[in-house]
Amino acid sequence: MVITRTPQVLTIAGSDTSSGAGIQADLKTFQIHKVYGTTVITSITAQNSRKVQQSFDLPVSLIQSQFKAVMEDFKIKAAKTGMLSSPEIVSCISDLILKYKIKNLIIDPVMISKTGYKLLNKEGVETLKSSLLPLALLATPNFQEAEILSGIKIDSLEKMKEAAKKIQWFGCRAVLIKTGDSPFNKGADLFWDGEKFRIFKGKPVPGKNPHGTGCVFSAAITARIARGGNLLKAISHAKQFTQKAIQKAHSNWIMELTP
């Protein structure tokens, strides 16, 4: 039963059998933030705490049907994308975002799993840059994804700023590069909105590098935006929420998601 007064949000991503990332992590994060989560599943993966073992992309026609079903019955205030594993799926989602006029779109440009499984090929990256990024309120690439999107080898804060400018130039209103386990500036994420830079500071948690941090982070931003928060405050909250989840992680894999 849908409670209509609850803000309704959409995650467009892959399914993760371990529930540490993807659709499952997004829904848990939405629930904690008191928004109603709907889903469009793009791919099904078989994965556990060690690796992604296999993935299967759903047909574009089924992805379109899922999207249509959601939009016919819900008022989506914000949406996020995760795993979009082919150029055809990226293009499909871009068309649907435009068709249904979704405004508050957060893009988590998932390209490689934590264990190194490739989730988006070169052609898909180019399609993402040309068709999906221009529709985004915010893109949240991690350090490695930012290098791929920008074509810039990031080995300093200045290079990171160059990469942020390049990614924002593709059309998204703002970009947040997550430093994660980068060799420098660890835990401090860089925000650029075309006018000014801002650093969101955090502290690396020694010994813990859990799966799904990017999904949880972007889902928390999406939820806060849907609840009426502004972008900077949404990012600040999501940063604190995700760091708390990492600190309470049961292991290097499973985060503890609590209010």
Instruction: Give domain limits for the chain.
Output: 8-247
As its CATH architecture, domain 8-247 has 3-Layer(aba) Sandwich (3.40)
pLDDT at position 53, please? 87
State how far the Cα of 108 lies from the Cα of 106, in Å rounded to an integer: 7
Give me the residues of the chain with pLDDT under 50, please: 1
pLDDT at position 250, please? 65
Q: Which of 125, 158, 119 is nearest to 22 (CA)?
A: 119
DSSP-H helix ranges across 113-212? 122-127, 143-150, 157-169
Cβ neighbour number for residue 145 with a 10 Å cutoff: 23
State how far the Cα of 22 lies from the Cα of 55, in Å rounded to an integer: 13
What residue type is assigned to position 253 of the chain?
W
pLDDT at position 15, please? 96
Report yes or no on whether pTM surpasses 0.85: yes
State how far the Cα of 212 lies from the Cα of 114, in Å rounded to an integer: 8
- Four-CA torsion 121, 109, 242, 216, nearest 10 degrees: -80
Q: E strands, the chain, where?
A: 8-16, 36-47, 52-57, 76-81, 105-107, 138-139, 175-177, 189-192, 197-200
Task: Please answer whether residues 257 and 32 qualify as being in contact, where contact means their C-beta atoms are separated by less than 8 angstroms.
Answer: yes
Mean residue pLDDT across the chain: 90
pLDDT at position 61, please? 98
